[in-house]
Structure 1
Amino acid sequence: MLDATLKSQLQQYLGMLRQPIRLIASLDDSATGVEMRSLLDDIVSLSDKVTLDASGNDARKPSFVVARERETQGVRFAGLPLGHEFTSLVLALLWTGGHPPKVEADVIESIKALDGDFGFEVYMSLTCHNCPDVVQALSLMAIFNPKVKTVVIEGGAFQQEVTERDIMAVPMVFLNGKVFGSGRMTVEEIVAKLDTNSGDREAAKLNAKDPFDVLIVGGGPAGAAAAVYAARKGIRVGVAAERFGGQVNDTMAIENYISVLETDGPKFAAALEAQVRHYEVDIMNLQRADKIIPAEEPGGLVQVQMANGGVLQARSVILSTGARWRNVNVPGEQEYKNKGVAYCPHCDGPLFKGKRTAVIGGGNSGVEAAIDLAGIVQHVTLVEFADQLKADAVLVSKLKSLPNVTIHVNAQTTEITGADGKVNGLKYKDRATNEEHLVPLEGVFVQIGLVPNTEFLKGTVELSRFGEIVVDAKGHTNVPGVFAAGDCTTVPYKQIVIAAGEGAKAALSAFDHLIRQPVVAAASEAVTA
């Protein structure tokens, strides 16, 4: 089942097992069942701490449980956990075998403290780059809390379930039979959603923190670069972010970051966080800023009020809140979100295999999405508002060469239609003739650009008419001591490498600001060069 390279890598990982584990398999005669048996045999052959029990009789076949020796409960994988999920399988083996996870101790304690009966089912696809985060989070929870049961279901192997449950986006999580959430979620987010008192505790933790010399709001490439550059100055640095890595986590392929030939978003985001943690920066995840209160006097403290009620204080603040996918804002978009309306072709494309889809947007993202989908779905209709596609010429040429793609330019999307809770069509108007058209289909992928995450700054920091933070050449905003960098600013060309450079620049500007300000009594220790 596994090639020689994978076997060698897996054998090294299995050497880290600290205690015996068992694989309990419920198999059938299907092709997937045969492949699963081969996979399990390979795993067992690589470590004397792993045994196989093929007498399982679970209702979902083929499936297997990763459990501790003499136990029957653990993480169940229904279908083959390969592709992006092979790492999830390896981690489940290691964690079950006693190898410690790279997770903060307080997160593990929060998992152990959960009280109740939690039966999770998470549907994933092997090409989804957001799914592993959710799969690994729920696996970790099942391993460290016996009250949590997790089943990981590969949608391609259980198509009937996918159809019956109207699953049209992954990852999709059910808790005790009811929809719990969809899309990328971290273990901290899941635990916080289950623990209703966590918000108050987090707010208290934030309020108790000493003031920072530099506080960075947002943890994408700009925020990470700012944190590294500021921390290297030997000053007190904090990062408050909703999710570290930001929108990079939703990017499949990164092939234009200088010195990195090729990587994917989640790996790149993990590398950003690892480097920031190397400098002992205080990273505060799951934190959404709600308000900025400028310093009352030169050298005073800027306050950042968070959505949970906590308040952080700092001598300088760098805003790097990034941007999010822009909605097309037509009837049907919100109603059919995750019921045929999607934003990630890499994640959700496989769920539309053999079906008709549309892509709204003719820039690089839209054309790349259409090319990607064309290899999976029956037909792709690309709808672009302008009178020509805006993507790079090489991408446009590739798109036009595909036999199952139809392109409509000068076309205004007016509605996403549906019936019985699912998308069944897209309406657009020919802007030249005003003629209305209806395209019957099952899926719509929206790829029309970004919206800066700056709504909370209105009335405090100067914003452009597009909602971007207005900055000068050094990253200064109109508020003393407040700087900004990345996709949330007026700096053109929203690219990872540009955001990182702007983050570094903002950190240097913040440091220059600090050394020129008096240190008031409430501030932290004096800045050292």
Structure 2
Amino acid sequence: MEKLLDERTQQQVKEVFQSLKRDVAIIFFGSEDQNCTYCEDTKQLITEVTSLSDKLHLEIYELEKFPEESNKYHVDKAPSFLVAAYDQGEIVDHGIRYLGIPAGHEFTSLIRDILMVSSGDSGLQPATREFLADLKSPITLQVFVTPTCPYCPQAVVLAHQMAMESPMVEAEMVEAMEFPELSARHNVSGVPHTVINGGASELIGAAPEQYLMEKIREALSLHTSEN
């Protein structure tokens, strides 16, 4: 089978992975469904990536055969995977998710996420950390992207930084073209498009931390007013 990562890319990633501190696990969910067009490519990509460092571990499941694991990790679509810390054989889930293949520009998001999880530090500003520490309600962030979008990794990594920082946040990259029904449900026409709590608020475009914080506040205030 032809590799997805050429020799030069493999070498570059290996060099970057020299700075890995904690072990990291990638937990992949595929599907037996023939309509899962990108399942094999996604599995191959993350298999190649995890082979580039002894600090990376890969677990592979199929949704249909492992309902307990898919429920545990809140996964109901494929291809999907999470980037988690791996501490003495135990998975530490930080809520960092990918729905669809991280191809094109999104490959950099994957590498940056691995480095972040390995470091154990979200890298967020103090004000953002304080805001997230005070969260009382769960937050879901879905960042819709396409592989050719140069601004999308910024939005994906920011959402994943927030998930890394707070156990109340779960953040997912969604490859918009792989999941057209999900994109249509949230009226995604341009990317990056961040959907907060299923549509309680949204942010279109890549934006600084404080903008996303304001949109999260907006979603939380709507939730509060409805209750």
TM-score of the aligned structures, taking structure 1 as reference length: 0.35
Distance in 2 between residues matched to 1:166 and 1:192, nearest whole Å: 21
The 5 Å alignment of 1:99-138 reads 100=121, 103-138=124-159
The 5 Å alignment of 1:12-51 reads 12-28=15-31, 30-51=36-57
Query: Please, which of 1, 6, 11 is the counterpart of residue 8 of structure 1?
Result: 11
Distance in 2 between residues matched to 1:16 and 1:114, nearest whole Å: 32
Q: 2:138, 2:168 within 8 Å by CA — same for their partners in 1?
A: yes
Q: 1:114, 1:195 within 8 Å by CA — same for their partners in 2?
A: no
Displacement of 1:6 after TM fit? Answer: 1.3
* Greater Rg by CA: 1
Name 1:65's counterpart in structure 2. 82
Query: Please, which of 147, 154, 164 is the counterpart of residue 143 of structure 1?
Result: 164
The change in CA–CA distance for 1:192 and 1:161 in structure 2 (over 3 A counts) is: closer
The change in CA–CA distance for 1:98 and 1:112 in structure 2 (over 3 A counts) is: farther
The reply on whether 1:191 has 2:213 as its aligned counterpart is yes
Q: 2:24, 2:85 within 8 Å by CA — same for their partners in 1?
A: yes
Displacement of 1:167 after TM fit? Answer: 1.7
Higher helix share: 2
Displacement of 1:108 after TM fit? Answer: 3.6
Displacement of 1:116 after TM fit? Answer: 2.1
The 5 Å alignment of 1:481-496 reads none
Displacement of 1:130 after TM fit? Answer: 2.4
Deviating beyond 6 angstroms after TM superposition, the runs of 4 or more aligned structure 1 residues are none
The reply on whether 1:53 has 2:59 as its aligned counterpart is yes
Distance in 2 between residues matched to 1:94 and 1:103, nearest whole Å: 14
Deviations 1:363-416 (A, max 9, x none): xxxxxxxxxxxxxxxxxxxxxxxxxxxxxxxxxxxxxxxxxxxxxxxxxxxxxx
Q: Percent identical across equivalent pairs?
A: 25
Displacement of 1:28 after TM fit? Answer: 2.4
Letter in 2 for 1:4: E
The change in CA–CA distance for 1:16 and 1:106 in structure 2 (over 3 A counts) is: farther
Distance in 2 between residues matched to 1:2 and 1:36, nearest whole Å: 12
Deviates further, 40-49 or 181-190: 181-190
Displacement of 1:105 after TM fit? Answer: 4.0
SS, match of residue 18 in structure 1: coil
The change in CA–CA distance for 1:166 and 1:110 in structure 2 (over 3 A counts) is: closer
SS, match of residue 132 in structure 1: helix
Q: 2:202, 2:215 within 8 Å by CA — same for their partners in 1?
A: no
Displacement of 1:195 after TM fit? Answer: 4.8
By relative contact order (CA 8 Å, sep 6+), the higher-ranking structure is: 2
The 5 Å alignment of 1:220-259 reads none
Q: 2:20, 2:118 within 8 Å by CA — same for their partners in 1?
A: yes
Could you list the runs of 5+ residues in structure 1 that have no partner in the other structure? 197-529
TM-score of the aligned structures, taking structure 2 as reference length: 0.78
Q: 2:124, 2:161 within 8 Å by CA — same for their partners in 1?
A: no
Distance in 1 between residues matched to 2:212 and 2:172, nearest whole Å: 15
The reply on whether 1:79 has 2:131 as its aligned counterpart is no
Distance in 2 between residues matched to 1:45 and 1:19, nearest whole Å: 16
Displacement of 1:100 after TM fit? Answer: 4.5
SS, match of residue 46 in structure 2: helix
